[in-house]
Structure 1
Amino acid sequence: MAIRSFKDRRPRLLAPSRILRPPVRQVGGGREREELLEEARESIAKGSKSFALASRLFDRPTREKAWLLYAWCRRCDDIADGQEFGWRADDEELAEHRIQALRVLTRRALDGQPTADPAFDAFGQVALEARLTEQMADDVIAGFELDAEGWRPRTEGDLMRYCYHVAGAVGVMMAHVMGVPDDDETMLDRACDLGLAFQLANIARDISEDDAAGRCYLPVEWLVEADIPPGEHMKPNHREALVALVARLVDLSEQHEAAARIGAAQLPFRQRWAVLSAANIYLAIARKVRACGVKAWDHRVTVSLPAKIGAVLRAFSQALARPQEPAQWPRWTRGEILLAVRMEGPIAPIPMTPLPDEDS
């Protein structure tokens, strides 16, 4: 009986090696682009009427890419919060797993692999079309991670880094969607400014809702300066002091919005019109909050449809004119924030407890 050699005893592959190939890259996870667009259009229609209105002013290629990007942002937000369009789910203990899921699905989408989720497949599609990178996506997901951890800012710098993650970084992505070159740092700075302005306006409007959800984005140092114990800013006896802090938020928002208008002036007309329309609508919300004073959080502040149409019409004339130089350029720049993000890493969460008295 012949003895089999060691070579003969080696395990055989189930398939010949010559037919084993890396997975085929499928942009959009293999879904048809039109299918992804329809899902994205429904997402923005449900998630943000203001952005949906402004986005229709874009030329078609820009509008479609903006919808695809929005669908990913909206889906990430819902997964991170354990909610669907505002309805909270009782699964906070799974926060870490949800954030990890965002990263895994986003990387798969960037690699051109199916994700079984249209919003992430849409991100894979727009990432290829608009040159979006994994670093850009990671910057945004870092903001969702902070929210999932129950984080709150200690300083104004912390606040601005958070706003960069959840909105400024999205503004940079939108600049790429609109065709801004990778090396045009000035335009990317202005796009970031617009995102920061929007997020500061959101924080001013949503203070009551955030408090009900156990969140607060007012820096602890601001609260201490105003003699408001952390966690008590919504109590009636602190309303006057809260109004002053919210005015401070709106002032910051206005500074970044004014800077963003300088960049918008360099965009093609339809893109410029859309950007200025969104800026008019969001800053109208912020200014309305400031004007309402102590009554600002008795109900959610909104802007009516006629007012939004008026904002769009004003934006048309603004898009034809040369923007005014900002009366005051923002204290916080994209470069400064990015330096802190890259050097210091994620913002560390701090306990949701009052700070000790200085005399203790």
Structure 2
Amino acid sequence: MPSDRADLVAAAHESIRLGSKSFASASRLFDRETRERVWLLYAWCRACDDIADEQDHGHAAPAEPGTRLDPESRLATIRTLSELAMAGEETGSFAFDALGQLMRETPVTRAMVDDVIAGFALDAAEWRPRSEADLLRYCYHVAGAVGVMMAAVMGVPAGDEDTLDRACDLGLAFQLANIVRDVCEDDAAGRCYLPVEWLVEADIPPGEVTKPHYRHALVPQVARACALARGYEASARVGAARLAFRQRWAVLSAANIYGGIAREVERLGAGAWDHRVVIGKARKLALVGKALLEARAAPPVAAKPALSRRELVAMAQASSRT
């Protein structure tokens, strides 16, 4: 397995190329050092996702009968390899060695890594959100905490709490966009990330969320998630204004693309899940161009969302003690 930095970067570049066209495109806007570090972070996140879901770059991976591991065993693998990487040991996996490399180069901390791994623990336990606060706590672990790591990769110091909050907000917005886009895919996998309380209010029974006769009742609940995403995206744009120009451009491009997914789901209403919502190449280029203009404009003004990173972290800590 590759262990020197150049080999790790090359392998990480291949991982992002295979796993996420949107992130791969946005990463080209970074300066070289930041771009390579973003690739290293993506490689670790992608590997954790693939281990957790027994996939290969987000796609089903073939396995011999009887060889599949239970969720807790997969979570233990993620934790063990990450611990080795954080201790500076070679892991036998380039993606986890990439995490070790990042921690040698950037202000990424063990607490940041642990917060991301906690999201995989929630999925391993088949945890589902009952309330809006639960939904946001889940989004924090699986995406907001990654946003915090991304900010550290870009050089935001651990003491700049407000900018880290804003970076977390962008991750929350991204995950909310994923949730509203993937309602049907998640349902097919036996998952639902819309809060139980929302579905009860809409009189949608458990396990019936994607049935055709509940589509119109589902639309307002999805719109609620889209509204949350807009608020977090607006907050994140304030933090992006504090970054170096190329970093700011890349972050705003990603915000436009993922925000575009949530906006398209909301626009389509009950037809949002007839086909998977995607942002085509031409539209992506237009959104990147729009981000260039935004990156040159005066910093925006936006209110902070109801639940901040620090409040969500406090909720998670309180939950772990009960």
TM-score class, shorter-chain normalisation, is over 0.9
Q: 1:35 to 1:93 in 2, by over 3 A?
A: closer
CA-to-partner distance for each residue in 1:232-253, whole Å, 9 max, x for gaps? Answer: 1101111011111111111100
Percent identity, please.
Answer: 58
Q: In structure 2, what is the equivalent of residue 260 of structure 1?
A: 236
Q: In structure 2, what is the equivalent of residue 306 of structure 1?
A: 282
Q: 2:181 aligns with which of 202, 205, 209?
A: 205
Q: 1:81 aligns with which of 38, 53, 63?
A: 53
Determine whether 1:247 maps to 2:223: yes
Deviates more, 1:248-257 or 1:139-148: 139-148
Q: In structure 1, what is the equivalent of residue 193 of structure 2?
A: 217
Q: Is the 8 A contact 2:107 2:155 kept in 1?
A: no
Unmatched segments (≥5 aa) in structure 2: none
Q: In structure 2, what is the equivalent of residue 172 of structure 1?
A: 148
| 1:338 CA drift (Å) | 0.9
CA distance in 2, matches of 1:267, 1:223: 39
| 1:336 CA drift (Å) | 0.8
CA distance in 2, matches of 1:299, 1:59: 36
CA distance in 2, matches of 1:273, 1:222: 36
Deviates more, 1:145-154 or 1:62-71: 145-154
Moved over 2 A (4+): 88-93
Q: In structure 1, what is the equivalent of residue 304 of structure 2?
A: 329
Who wins on radius of gyration, i.e. which is larger?
1
| 1:230 CA drift (Å) | 1.5
Q: In structure 2, what is the equivalent of residue 32 of structure 1?
A: 4
Q: 1:297 aligns with which of 269, 273, 284?
A: 273
User: How many positions carry a matched residue from both structures?
Assistant: 318
| 1:146 CA drift (Å) | 1.4
Unmatched segments (≥5 aa) in structure 1: 1-28, 349-360
Q: 1:151 aligns with which of 118, 127, 133?
A: 127
| 1:30 CA drift (Å) | 7.7
Q: TM-score, normalised to structure 2's length?
A: 0.95
CA distance in 2, matches of 1:180, 1:96: 33
Whichever residue aligns with residue 47 of structure 1, its letter is: G
Deviates more, 1:162-171 or 1:329-338: 329-338
Q: 1:317 aligns with which of 286, 293, 298?
A: 293
Q: 1:194 aligns with which of 162, 170, 182?
A: 170
Whichever residue aligns with residue 140 of structure 1, its letter is: V
- State the Cα RMSD in Å: 1.5
Q: Is the 8 A contact 2:86 2:100 kept in 1?
A: yes
Q: 1:278 aligns with which of 246, 254, 259?
A: 254
CA-to-partner distance for each residue in 1:184-231, whole Å, 9 max, x for gaps? Answer: 011000000000000000001011100011100000000001111121
Whichever residue aligns with residue 60 of structure 2, its letter is: W
| 1:301 CA drift (Å) | 0.5
Whichever residue aligns with residue 185 of structure 1, its letter is: E
| 1:149 CA drift (Å) | 2.3
Q: 1:231 to 1:88 in 2, by over 3 A?
A: farther
Report SS of the residue matched to 1:228.
coil
CA distance in 2, matches of 1:199, 1:207: 12
| 1:61 CA drift (Å) | 0.6
